[in-house]
Amino acid sequence: MHRKGQAAMEFLMTYGWAILAAIIAIGVLAYFGVFNPSRLAGSAGVLNAPMNVDEFNILADDSSCSGGTDCMNLIITQNSGQALNVTSTNITLTSGGSGSCSDTILLPSAWSSGSKQTFLFECGNSFENGASIAGNIEIKYTVTGSDLVQTSTGNIRGVAQ
């Protein structure tokens, strides 16, 4: 009678050791960041029509930013078919930093269709080098000859360099 209990106990112990080994392996992988979602998703910058993010970089404590602060450089093309006047720009950080980033370059007036414009957003000192950064972009503009303010929104995500 006792042998049946011993066989069952040995059977359960074998599964127990296998489960314990699997938990330890998963813990080690998580410690080294294998399951970090920012590693799975690549860098991207997207804006709603009529604008398009062509290139961007996220800089942590860079000398090209005033005072060595953190900043984002975006090159944006507008394809509305008309000249636009940009009235305001903003990036609200959603991860990897806090607060918002403001444009420090003079906003373009009479921004012709098909042309590129560089925007430099200063973000304070909230990035760490190598950190994943994400934010929501908002650009308000008017079509030349109109007073109606329109908004193009989008998002940006990447790694601070």
Average pLDDT for consecutive 10-residue bins of the chain (161 residues)? 74 91 94 73 85 90 72 91 91 83 80 91 80 90 91 91 83
Q: Residue 1: what pLDDT?
A: 54
Task: Examine the domain organization and report whether 13 and 92 are in the same domain.
Answer: no
Q: Residue 148: what pLDDT?
A: 94
Task: Examine the domain organization and report whether 124 and 144 are in the same domain.
Answer: yes
Task: Examine the domain organization and report whether 31 and 46 are in the same domain.
Answer: no
Task: Examine the domain organization and report whether 28 and 82 are in the same domain.
Answer: no
Adjacent-strand bridge partners of 124:
none
Number of domains in the chain: 2
Task: Examine the domain organization and report whether 65 and 98 are in the same domain.
Answer: yes
CA torsion angle for 93, 55, 49, 141 (degrees, to 10)? 70
Task: Examine the domain organization and report whether 48 and 107 are in the same domain.
Answer: yes
Q: Which domain holds residue 9?
A: 2-35
Task: Examine the domain organization and report whether 25 and 79 are in the same domain.
Answer: no
Q: Residue 37: what pLDDT?
A: 65
Asked if the bond preceding 50 is cis, omega within 30° of 0, the reply is yes
Task: Examine the domain organization and report whether 25 and 104 are in the same domain.
Answer: no
Write b or e for each residue in 97-127: b if 16 or more Cβ atoms lie within 10 A of its Cβ, otherwise e. Answer: beeebebeeebbeebeeeeebebbbbbbebb
Asked if 76 and 65 count as a contact pair (C-beta separation under 8 A), the reply is no
Task: Examine the domain organization and report whether 26 and 89 are in the same domain.
Answer: no
Q: What is the distance between the alpha carbons of residues 142 and 110, in angstroms, rounded to a whole number? A: 10
* Contacting residues for 4 by C-beta, under 8 A, at least 6 apart: none
Task: Examine the domain organization and report whether 52 and 126 are in the same domain.
Answer: yes
Task: Examine the domain organization and report whether 71 and 104 are in the same domain.
Answer: yes
Task: Examine the domain organization and report whether 26 and 45 are in the same domain.
Answer: no
Q: Residue 149: what pLDDT?
A: 94
